[in-house]
Copies of this chain bind each other. A is one copy, B any other.
Amino acid sequence: MNYTEIIKGLERLVKIPEYHVLGKLRDNLVFFSTAQGVTNISALINTRVVRLTKEPISFPSTPKSHLDFLVFARDIERGKEKHAVYACNLKGEEYEIASPRVRIMSVAYDDKNVAFVGSSEDGTYLYVIEGGKLKKLNDVPPFSFVTDIEANHITGVSVVSPRSQDFFIADLSGELKILTPKQGSVNQPYRIKGNKVYLASDYENIGESYWIYTYDLASNTYERVDFPERDIYQYKPVEIFYDPEDKLIISKRDGRENLFLNGKLINTVPGTLTGATVIDNYIYFSHSSLVSPHKIYRVDKEGGKVDVVVDNEEHVDLGQVEYVKIQSYDKVEVPTWIIKSKAGKVPSTAVVYVHGGPWGEIDDRWNSIISSLLLFGYHVVTPNFRGSTGYGSKFYLMDIGDPGGGDLMDVVKVRDYIVGKKIAEKVGVMGYSYGGYMTLLALGREPDKWDFGMAGASVADWIEMYELSDSTFKGFIELLFNGKNLDLMKERSPITYVNNVKAPVCIIHSQNDSRTFLSPVIRYVQELHKAGKSFEFHVVPDAGHADYTVDDLINFTLPAIMFLEKLRKKWEEN
């Protein structure tokens, strides 16, 4: 095996940066970036890219366009997702605002205050930081996230029951209301503007499609937002993101996104838009696809001319993308990307790559893991199994009460499809987080289907994981299992099926992961070992569930690719 060639290719690939437009600060474009190997906030100031943060960040807030600073969170306990809150400004200065050392999933700010939901073993609370002082405002449901604060009001999401995603309005005095336009609908508040909260909701068409509404804080009434241009009305978005300040919509359907200004379709590039904002006469947007890395473009509002403003120096030619809907055992269609590697023969080895979440999806977006596989000649197939987002709430709620059930069958059906289509001679399953869970479960419950498996940040035992979880993730597991259903948790845990595993498996896990904990995975590995199975195991130190650096990415992709290359070498020899 030529190790140098493997690393050289891999290193080049994982260093390709991501860009996500966040918005603007005083007419300067602000974006999230992974350039220079770490997650950071950057700005485009007079056509020059300026990095505003130094150490890796966890996530940014949405910039307020009239201010010159931006709030963000940083993990200060080596991957444990115990966060502190910081601000950075256009001069590239950064400072700590408060260090609550709780799990924070999102943060919002205005000129005076910062708001976030923080979770620990004790519970989940809404916090505000007023003039540097941290204040616990309210108990909130375990699975809640802030999306905006403006003057006296805070808004955010609260998933109150498995089948109802409500939103909350809190004020700084401590009053909190959890609201829904209709029981069982899914609601996503974006921004507060004046007396109105802008939100997406499927309440008029539950489970099928979303539209944009306002909620009036004074009258407690909902109103549809309408647009002068009519393009958006033909598009029927399955998911929708709206920026009321710029009147920009990013609308999703079948894993690709379109951009609308005032309802008018804007000329972009096929793939996924990871953010957009209007500055002067231009719309700036970030874009990527499964086979093309992130770039930031701007498009002339009037003429529609598209330019690249932040380029990606690496040019890659990885493979050919096909989007199919594959029928599962019960006629449910599983939207799937099949990406045939340019470096691989057909048929050869395929990886069924299972996304995390389960509330997530593989859309037509750059993904370092997928592109690494393609680079080395592996075909990649990505089932958006029932439970995935991007296809309406009816589809994603199908996983409630049945994780590792119907979704696993979907993955197996997709595997059978590509074997039937003679794309794969050898086929394995791979995933991270919920995808890692599905990988281990697939190997144990459907052992004859796989030639190999690779599981990152996986779940081996839901019961131990539940015990170890903080309030937010206890809440998450209860949503997923429709309550604290220990029998189902046991039945759906990979450790229950460890003796059935047949394929060699590579397990990679970060030591400080505080979502999918390491300890049950070590137990799983001990059981694999005692049963004489063939496996690799790599524990990554001082890291957690999220990737903040290129090193974090290498820690996952390098063992995975080396594991595959060793297998391929063995197959070729026999």
Interface membership of A458, Cβ < 8 A: no
Closest Cβ of chain B: how far from A82's Cβ, in Å?
13
Complex A-B, nearest 3 residue pairs according to Cβ-Cβ distance, in ascending order = A537-B539, A7-B7, A4-B8
Query: Does A538 make an interface contact (CB < 8 A)?
Result: yes
A508-532 to B contact mask, C-beta < 8 Å, 1/0 = 0001000000110011011001100
Name the B residues within 8 Å of A504 (CB-CB): 541-542
Say if the beta carbon of A416 comes within 8 Å of chain B.
Answer: no
Q: Could you mark each residue 1-21 of chain A with 1 if its beta carbon is under 8 Å from any beta carbon of chain B, else 0?
A: 111101110110000000000
A551 at the interface (CB under 8 A from B): yes
A387 to B8, CA, bound (A): 43
Copies of chain A in the complex = 2
Q: Which residues of B contact A4 (CB under 8 A)?
A: 4, 7-8, 11
**Chain B nearest CB, measured from A570 CB (Å):** 9
What sequence of 0s and 1s flags, for each residue 530-574 of chain A, a beta carbon within 8 Å of any chain B beta carbon? 100011111111100000000100100011000000100000000
B536 contacts A539, C-beta separation under 8 Å:
yes
Q: Chain B nearest CB: distance from A192 CB in Å?
A: 41
A529 interface neighbour in B3, B11, B511, B554, Cβ under 8 Å: B511
B-contact bits for A478-516, CB 8 A (1 contact / 0 none)? 000000000000000000000000001010000100000
Chain B residues positioned under 8 Å from A519 (CB to CB): 526, 529-530
Question: Are B530 and A536 neighbours in the complex by a CB distance under 8 Å?
Answer: no
Complex CA distance for A554 and B569, rounded to whole angstroms: 16
> What would be 28 A-B contacts, judged by CB atoms less than 8 Å apart?
A2-B11, A3-B11, A3-B554, A3-B558, A4-B4, A4-B7, A6-B7, A7-B7, A7-B8, A504-B541, A504-B542, A511-B529, A511-B535, A518-B529, A519-B529, A519-B530, A522-B525, A522-B526, A526-B526, A534-B541, A535-B541, A536-B539, A536-B540, A537-B537, A537-B538, A537-B539, A538-B539, A538-B559
Bound Cα distance A10, B519 (Å): 32
User: Contacts of A538 on B, CB cut-off 8 Å?
Assistant: 536-539, 559
In the complex, residue of chain B having the shortest beta-carbon distance to the beta carbon of A540? B536
| Most interface-central of A7, A523, A542 (chain B CB within 10 A) | A7
**What CA separation (Å) do A540 and B535 show in the bound complex?**
7
**With contact pairs A511-B535, A536-B539, A537-B538 given, residues A523 and B525 touching in the complex (Cβ less than 8 Å):** no
Measured CB to CB, the nearest residue on chain B to A508 is B538
- Which residue of B534, B540, B566 is within 8 Å of A511 (Cβ)? B534
Chain B residues with Cβ below 8 Å from A558 are 3
Q: Report the bound CA distance from A506 to B538 in whole Å.
A: 10
A527, closest chain B residue (CB): B522
Most buried by B among A10, A518, A541: A541
**Alpha-carbon separation in the docked complex, A1 to B522 (Å):** 29
Bound complex: CA of A173 vs CA of B353, how far in Å? 63
Partner of A536, one of B3, B11, B541: B541
Could you say which of B1, B11, B526 contacts A523, with CB atoms under 8 Å apart?
B526
A506 to chain B: closest residue by CB? B541
Tell me, in angstroms, the Cα distance from A433 to B227 when the chains sit together.
72
**Docked pose: A10 CA to B523 CA in angstroms:** 33
Name the residue of chain B whose CB is nearest to the CB of A519: B529
Contact flag A522-B511 (CB < 8 Å), given A3-B7, A534-B542: no
Neighbouring B residues of A551 by C-beta, 8 Å: 1, 566
16 other A-B residue contacts (CB within 8 Å) besides A4-B8, A535-B539: A4-B4, A4-B7, A4-B11, A78-B534, A504-B541, A504-B542, A511-B535, A522-B522, A526-B526, A534-B542, A535-B541, A536-B538, A537-B537, A537-B538, A537-B539, A538-B559
Q: Is the CB of B518 within 8 A of A522?
A: no
Residue of B nearest to A80 (CB): B532
CA distance A6 to B542 in the complex (A): 21
Contacts of A535 in B (CB 8 A): 511, 539, 541
CA of A481 to CA of B317 in the docked complex: distance in angstroms? 61
Kindly provide the distance from the CB of A484 to the nearest chain B CB, expressed in whole angstroms.
24
